[in-house]
């Protein structure tokens, strides 16, 4: 895998890749990136999954999305960041495009 990850024995249903992983207090601590379904195999009833810790997600570069230049969303991006090829997930949170609770810094 490209990113640091942790391995878990949580059963992760198909189609939930990219979904949040919560801790016991309901905080997002990671993202599901891979689950294995061993039904009918020798490891049945021994789920295996991989999650990326949230701190690595925050620094993940993402390609910019189309934002109308005269929109509220475009006004939230500082001038020095406008027109960049990529922004990080952390920056998207700081600019109000992704909401984190508590807010990212």
Tens-of-pLDDT digits for all 105 residues of the chain?
566 777 777 777 777 777 888 888 888 888 887 766 656 555 566 677 788 888 877 887 877 666 677 877 778 888 777 777 778 888 888 887 777 766 667
Q: How far apart are CA 8 and CA 74, in angstroms?
A: 39
Q: Tokens 């990212």: give the residue.
A: 104
User: Are residues 81 and 87 in contact, defined by beta-carbon separation less than 8 angstroms?
Assistant: yes
Global pTM?
Answer: 0.54
User: Are residues 32 and 49 in contact, defined by beta-carbon separation less than 8 angstroms?
Assistant: yes
* 3-class DSSP state of 78: coil
Q: How far apart are CA 9 and CA 36, in angstroms?
A: 10
């Amino acid at each position: 895998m490209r990113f640091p990850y942790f391995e878990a024995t949580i059963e992760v249903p198909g189609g939930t890749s990219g979904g949040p992983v919560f801790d016991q207090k309901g905080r997002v601590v990671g993202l599901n990136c891979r689950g294995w379904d061993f039904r009918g195999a020798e490891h049945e009833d021994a789920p295996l999954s991989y999650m990326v810790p949230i701190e690595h997600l925050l620094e993940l570069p993402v390609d910019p999305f189309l934002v109308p230049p005269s929109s509220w969303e475009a006004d939230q991006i500082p001038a020095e960041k406008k027109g960049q090829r990529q922004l990080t997930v952390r920056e998207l949170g700081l600019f109000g495009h992704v909401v984190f609770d508590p807010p990212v810094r």
